[in-house]
Amino acid sequence: MTVLAVEIFGVTSMLPYGLMLLRYSRIKQTGVTSPPLPAKKPAEPTVIPDHHKFHVRVMVPCYKESLGTIQNTVEAALDADLPPGSSRTVYLCDDGKDADKKAWAATKAPNVVYVSGRTQAPGEINGKSGNLNNALRNIIYKDYETPAHIPPTELVVVFDADMAAKKCFFVKVLEVMRDQDA
């Protein structure tokens, strides 16, 4: 009896799916092609007022990832659109102290800053997080006494070494981050 109840439930849940599949498929039935699913409209770029001059700091922590993987991530971050008046700096936070990554980052200066050389305590296992904290404290915000002194137009974004930003990523993020009352 239980098997019969499960089978009836399965059929009732598959019936709407099958009907939608038939309705929106391009299979010709009686000589008429059914309409395709509505296409998603491309997003319009959001206009952010010029007085919001954000500085986006993109941090890419890495350790043993290949140079090609790192290049893809950094290039995507550099190619993504920014609102007018905003700027960006990419920090390649290399815990592996790879000479090839350092040399490649130097070719992208001043938009890409190579960060390495932090000292690890014996037994420390928090590699990437320790590397990010080192870059934030000792490189990016070293001139600020406390986090409260950091301007509200600063934004830190962390991409893992194998992530690639979409072209509209920063525009969409900054749209949400701006103060609506300013």
Pairwise CA distance, residues 92 & 6, whole Å: 54
Q: Which of 96, 114, 95 is nearest to 105 (CA)?
A: 114
Burial of residue 4 (number of CB atoms within 10 Å: 0-12, 13-18, 19+): exposed
Summarised one tens digit per residue, pLDDT across range 71-105 is 999 999 999 998 888 899 999 999 888 999 999 99
Check residue 126 and give its pLDDT: 65
Check residue 105 and give its pLDDT: 96
Pairwise CA distance, residues 62 & 101, whole Å: 10
Give percent of the chain with pLDDT exceeding 90.
36
Please, which residues have CB within 8 angstroms of residue 60's CB and are 6 or more apart in sequence? 70, 73, 74, 77, 90, 91, 92, 93, 158, 159, 160, 161
Check residue 74 and give its pLDDT: 96
| Phi, psi angles (nearest 5°) of residue 45 | -60, 135
CA angle 72, 162, 97 (to 5 degrees): 85
Tell me the longest C-alpha to C-alpha distance in the chain. Answer: 75
The yes-or-no verdict on residue 24 having pLDDT over 90 is: no
| Phi, psi angles (nearest 5°) of residue 104 | -65, -40
Check residue 36 and give its pLDDT: 47
